[in-house]
């Protein structure tokens, strides 16, 4: 049976952010220093056997694997540098949201299936047309293969104009007319649901300098109706139920919410009207609206792994303080899962119910 799966091929914001050689060198040094201290620890008698991750009886491969496993996520692999791209899959149904640089890797995967034989069908939804959500499209291999059908969707009527312009010289050498696949354009109605296989997709407006539409995707699973809320890019200038109005539904009881947390709360206050948000705003909405899990994303391109890990720590402190304050006022806050997104993160929302 098919499952409701979501995989993130890009979680960075604004611009792809590969690590520089200098940053990699510093990172390697930090890791080796940690390795060194672990070995030292294993050579001194320890009261707690669990501290001994470097048992000398293990082979060097086992020792290194155990060490890598013991590292915090920001140090073992970091958060990634590809821009926005999410794949929502369930049996024969596949939806892509955003064509950021992460789309290139998803294209490579799809080329191993029907798209590689010119028999693929792709449904790609755009939130808006800022570069970081568009830049992967000219590098999406299935679009060059004759026989493939690529359907592009957006609320904004300028969808076709924006995509055609992307394939114009001198921006790109291959013209739109000479693409192999049959590419079609579909304008969506705001806040009106459309069906696509097992999924129901509804666009809701976000708060961004240029109009930007998030998506709520729902499906029936054997454990009930589950939902994914794609909420980038947004400054979250509307937080209360009254302010959000009709767009409140985007968040309500979402099983998984992908939320714009480009800034720490301090940075957010000095970046008014830049169109991006901070994790505490996501927690406030998520706790109030019964969101099960929030994935904080759209990391600033200038933020290194250590800085994002710091923002994660600040978010934990914020939540602890928020819970303590709520307890004092007698308000009960539900449990909520949350984490800062990494390229390649994937989530299974359960087995789809056959209709
Ligand atoms: Zn963006
Ligand atoms: Zn944007």
Residue 211: pLDDT band (50, 70, 90) is: very high
Q: How many A from CA of 132 to the centre of ligand 1? A: 5
Q: What is residue 328's predicted lDDT score, i.e. its pLDDT?
A: 92
Ligand nearest to the CA of 212: 2
Task: Find the length of the chain.
Answer: 355
**Spatial distance between the Cα atoms of 31 and 191, rounded to a whole number of angstroms:** 48
Strand partners, 214: 204
Q: How many A from CA of 205 to the centre of ligand 2? A: 13
| pLDDT tens per residue across span 278-299 | 999 999 999 999 999 999 999 9
Q: Looking at the domain that runs over 190-342, which CATH code has it been given? A: 3.60.15.10
Paired tokens of 82: 């590809």
| pLDDT tens per residue across span 31-60 | 999 988 887 777 766 555 555 555 666 788
What is the residue-wise DSSP string for 85-114? EEEEEETTEEEEE--STTHHHHHHHHTTTG
Residue 91: pLDDT band (50, 70, 90) is: confident
**Spatial distance between the Cα atoms of 152 and 337, rounded to a whole number of angstroms:** 32
Q: Angle, nearest 10°, between helix axes 279-289 and 305-328?
A: 40
Q: How many A from CA of 10 to the centre of ligand 1? A: 11
Q: How many A from CA of 276 to the centre of ligand 2? A: 8
Q: What is residue 55's predicted lDDT score, i.e. its pLDDT?
A: 63
Q: How many A from CA of 69 to the centre of ligand 1? A: 32
Average pLDDT of every residue of the chain: 94
Q: How many A from CA of 14 to the centre of ligand 2? A: 7
Q: How many A from CA of 33 to the centre of ligand 2? A: 39
| pLDDT tens per residue across span 246-265 | 999 999 999 999 999 999 99
What is the domain partition of the chain in residue ranges?
1-13+81-154+156-189, 190-342
Nearest to 213, CA basis, from 125, 95, 341: 125
**pTM higher than 0.85, yes or no?**
yes
């Amino acid at each position: 049976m098919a499952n409701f799966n979501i995989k993130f091929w890009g979680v960075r914001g604004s611009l792809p952010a590969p690590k520089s050689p200098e940053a990699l060198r510093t990172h390697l040094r930090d890791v080796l220093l940690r390795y060194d201290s672990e070995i030292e620890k294993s050579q001194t008698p320890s009261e707690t056997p669990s501290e001994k991750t470097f048992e000398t009886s293990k082979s060097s491969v086992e020792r290194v694997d155990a060490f890598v496993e013991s590292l915090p996520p920001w140090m073992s692999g970091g958060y990634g540098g590809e821009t926005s791209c999410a794949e929502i899959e369930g049996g024969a149904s596949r939806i892509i949201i955003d064509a950021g640089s992460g789309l290139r890797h998803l294209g490579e995967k799809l080329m191993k299936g029907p798209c590689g034989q010119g028999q693929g069908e792709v449904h790609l939804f755009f939130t808006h047309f800022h570069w970081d959500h568009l830049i992967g499209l000219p590098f999406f291999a299935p679009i060059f293969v004759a026989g493939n059908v690529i359907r592009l969707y957006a609320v904004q009527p300028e969808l076709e104009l924006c995509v055609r312009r992307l394939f114009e010289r001198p921006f790109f050498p291959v013209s739109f007319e000479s693409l192999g696949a049959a590419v079609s354009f579909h304008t969506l109605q705001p806040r009106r649901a459309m069906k696509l296989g097992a999924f129901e997709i509804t666009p809701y407006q976000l708060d961004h300098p240029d109009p930007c539409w998030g998506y709520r995707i729902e499906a029936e699973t054997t454990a009930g109706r589950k939902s994914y809320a794609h909420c980038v890019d947004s400054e979250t200038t509307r937080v209360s139920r009254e302010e959000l109005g009709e767009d409140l539904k985007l968040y309500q009881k979402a099983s998984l919410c992908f939320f714009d947390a480009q800034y720490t709360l301090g940075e957010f206050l000095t970046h008014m009207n830049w169109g991006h948000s901070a994790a505490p705003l996501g927690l406030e909405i998520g706790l109030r609206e019964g969101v099960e899990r929030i994935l904080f994303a759209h990391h600033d391109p200038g933020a290194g792994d250590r800085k994002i890990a710091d923002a994660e720590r600040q978010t934990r402190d914020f939540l602890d303080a928020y819970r303590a304050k709520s307890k004092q006022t007698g308000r009960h806050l539900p449990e909520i899962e949350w984490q800062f997104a990494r390229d390649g993160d994937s989530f299974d929302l359960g087995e789809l119910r056959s209709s």
